[in-house]
Amino acid sequence: MRDPSIALLPQHIPVMLAEVLGALAPADGEMHIDGTFGAGGYSCAILQAADCRVLAFDRDITAVRAAAPVCAAFPNRLNVINQPFSRMEEFARIEVTPHGTLPVEGPFADGVVLDIGVSSMQLDQAARGFSFMHDGPLDMRMSAAIDPIDGSALDVGGSAADFLNFAEEEKIANVIYTYGEEHRSRAIARAVVKARQVAPLTTTRQLADLVLRVFHGCKPDGKHPATRTFQALRIHVNDELGELVAGLAAAERILKPGGRLVVVSFHSLEDRIVKRFLASRCGKTARTSRHLPEQSIKSELPSFRFVNLRPLTPSQGELVLNPRSRSARLRAAIRTDAPPHAIDEDALGLDQPPV
């Protein structure tokens, strides 16, 4: 088999790769879904581990186009689709059927892996506007706004700049507080509105400097004060938590009995949703307090069973090689033969900022 490592971007380090493979346990003849292709780290490792197929998704057209060499390394075994993983069910059902566009019925996947959040490649590209470490357009859309081939505009929704320059002050404050858990959200929102009255906010440097002024240049926890604000705007612009809930529900519907679900998340809002989803599907309710025991759910049969009751975290060796992995949490479960549950967004903690 051709070594696909040459097809990977050299700076890409898949987070908790050994742990992901251990939980996913790919075997010959299986079909796996990689919901967040990125630079192909998980997909390549799955395909190397077994003679199986991988159907991968990525909402970023630049990632999908860059995947061509990886697909060539695994002919007829890897296909990458330019769609968000929340839509994996509808596109995967068409792709896996041997009868053209006739959708396949019933569960068909042996494994689903999701690596939640922004990718390292997106963070490191100043033009994408995700990071205050690089000055660039205040964009933050995971789906590229400009086609990299012909420079044409792509219809992918509003940018972070659009939101900050036109939303009401209260809406901005609520988004920053809810998705960034930023306690100075109202002061930041006031500063945004005051600044945009003079000139529109258009760059990441402008926003980072504005937040820094709100904090009077202080970094009380050692982090840049804009960290939480940038996180909140990115989550809002891309509807990341809504996508996560929809993706988890889709995975539940397409996984065969015995199929494995593996989710790697990077901050508390994501991990809380994954934890509550798996707890409810495994017959437990997540604790509302650490002093209270988990309670069994009697109304529906468990649609999953836990692989690991507590989340796995990166090894010390991985932390040294890849500091960005420090906040990663891996949760995994195995599908039972019970019917999928209905989605309860409130129970999963899908907080929506009040308008």
What's the gap between Cα 227 and its chain centre? 18
Q: Which residue has the tokens 């320059």?
A: 165
Predicted pLDDT at 97: 63
Question: Residues 283, 322: one domain?
Answer: yes
How many folded domains does the chain comprise?
2
- Cα-atom radius of gyration of the chain, to the nearest Å? 21
Domain with 18, as residue range(s), is 4-120+240-348
Question: Residues 163, 200: one domain?
Answer: yes
Question: Residues 134, 226: one domain?
Answer: yes
Answer whether residue 264 is part of any domain: yes
Question: Residues 280, 136: one domain?
Answer: no
* Number of alpha carbons in the 13 Å side-chain half-sphere of residue 1: 16
- What's the pLDDT tens digit per position in 256-286? 999 999 999 998 999 999 999 999 999 986 5
Q: Which residue has the tokens 């809406």?
A: 171
Instruction: Give me the residues of the chain with pLDDT under 70, please.
Output: 1-12, 97-103, 118-130, 144-156, 220-222, 285-299, 351-355
Question: Residues 116, 256: one domain?
Answer: yes
Question: Residues 280, 213: one domain?
Answer: no
The per-residue DSSP string of 256-294 comes to EEEEEEEEEE-SHHHHHHHHHHHHHHTTEEPPSSTTS--
Predicted pLDDT at 4: 43
Predicted pLDDT at 342: 93
Predicted pLDDT at 71: 93
Question: Residues 256, 195: one domain?
Answer: no
- Identify the CATH number of the domain in which residue 182 sits: 1.10.150.170
- What's the pLDDT tens digit per position in 136-146? 899 988 875 45
Three-class DSSP category at 167: coil
Question: Residues 44, 107: one domain?
Answer: yes
The one-letter amino acid at 354: P
- Identify the CATH number of the domain in which residue 294 sits: 3.40.50.150
Predicted pLDDT at 348: 86
Question: Residues 232, 248: one domain?
Answer: no
